[in-house]
Structure 1
Amino acid sequence: MTNPDVSLGEIPSDPAGHPAHTPTAIAEVTITSLAEAAVKPLSVSEILEHGRRIERTARICIRGDLQAEYDRIILELAGLMGPSGEVIDVSLADGDEGPTPAQIKHAELEAVRHEMSGAMRFVRFRGMPSDEWPGWDKAHRPKGEDPDLTEYNTALIAACAIEPKLSVDEVNSLRGALGSPQMVELANKAWQANTTGGVDVPKSLGSWPSRAQG
């Protein structure tokens, strides 16, 4: 069954193959639209009606244990490769049309990747109003040199999470089930919602080096 979730940023394909859905066409439309659009002067009434604070999305895999299985298969695949990166596969016996060891490992790797993909979850954060953030940060940030930021990050995640909404107690309960990298990702995105982004239009796909060289 095809997974309809495109939350990881994939562009859904058009069954009819409409050119407007290709990355190149999207980049061209974006570039044309931006070139034709004039930068408007700030309007207080417009901002009061339509302005929105910055939002960020953290994505984490709740099955962190699968990372060890993924790493194991990668190491086993590396054992089937030569010094130049070529696959050195074990020859099959005469008449054996089954999969090769490398093919088996690739299938195992894809199965783990699929399981990890199914275990991905997101939390959406919204930045605080500009007149609240400095005071909140000052009130909650611990003092001293190299302070423990655990309570600060917990409060920050709870204060900014909007989908789903999280209480301080719920965030603390997550700490017992998730690892440090997963919690750091949540805290980083909550922090970024208050400190970065939202001041300019991101570059189009056509301007990315990998796209331009592809």
Structure 2
Amino acid sequence: MPDIKEILAKARPREHTVRICLAGDLAAEVDRLEAELASYAGWQQQSIADQNPAIEVAEKIAAAREAMREAEVPFTFQALGAKAWSDLVAQHPSENEGESWDDESLAPALVAASAKDPVMTPEDVAALFEQLNMGQRQELINAAWTVNGEATAVPFALHASAILASRTDGK
């Protein structure tokens, strides 16, 4: 029978990392280039010397997408303990009867409280949220909710399983 002291010694709070691209200008450049690429959809070579202009645009898209990947910043969140969670919820009560907390104020506070790397204060989160669009803000909020609200289970990795299965002929 397992000893609770041994179990507690192994226990670690759940962590979850998301990557956010902070280069909105590069995203706009990719959009612009993709529109330019679409304009070449009907291009036809007129002579053997003609180069398809779509190739140069596709190469620019690839370079811009790589620059976007390089502009991604990882944000790692760690689950709060029971008391820290309870205290945080108590600091953000709902004005609506039947609701335990106020989503609008709790969400950014949860991001700050759960942020492990980089560590963020509520003021840091407010400043960051001013630079991000709604989708990016929601991605950080979802990560904080996920790390605090979802059970930890061994995930099924379809891609990894397919690669391993191909090495063993499915056995």
Q: TM-score if structure 1 supplies the norm length?
A: 0.64
Which structure is higher in helix share?
2
Tell me by how many angstroms 1:171 deviates.
1.1
- 2:66 counterpart of 1:114: yes
CA 183–114 in structure 1, closer or farther in 2 if over 3 Å, else same: same
Q: Quote the Cα distance in structure 2 between the aligned partners of 1:69 and 1:196.
A: 36
Tell me by how many angstroms 1:49 deviates.
0.5
Q: Quote the Cα distance in structure 1 between the aligned partners of 2:137 and 2:111.
A: 9
- 2:53 counterpart of 1:101: yes
2:156 counterpart residue number: 203
Structure 1 regions of 5+ residues with no counterpart?
Answer: 1-40, 82-87
Tell me by how many angstroms 1:70 deviates.
1.4
CA contact (8 A) 2:88 2:106 kept: no
- CA-to-partner distance for each residue in 1:61-110, whole Å, 9 max, x for gaps? 001222222122222323333xxxxxx433154445xx421101111111
User: Which residue identity does 1:143 align to in structure 2?
Assistant: E
2:133 counterpart residue number: 179
CA 192–64 in structure 1, closer or farther in 2 if over 3 Å, else same: same
Tell me by how many angstroms 1:59 deviates.
1.1
CA contact (8 A) 1:141 1:149 kept: no
Equivalent in 18, 32, 46 of residue 72 of structure 1 = 32
3-state SS of 2:18 partner: strand
- Identical pairs, percent: 31
Structure 2 regions of 5+ residues with no counterpart?
Answer: 167-171
Q: Quote the Cα distance in structure 2 between the aligned partners of 1:54 and 1:151.
A: 23
CA 125–68 in structure 1, closer or farther in 2 if over 3 Å, else same: same
Runs of 4+ in 1 over 3 A off after TM superposition: 92-96, 145-150
Q: TM-score if structure 2 supplies the norm length?
A: 0.78
Count of equivalent residues: 160
Q: Quote the Cα distance in structure 1 between the aligned partners of 2:91 and 2:36.
A: 51
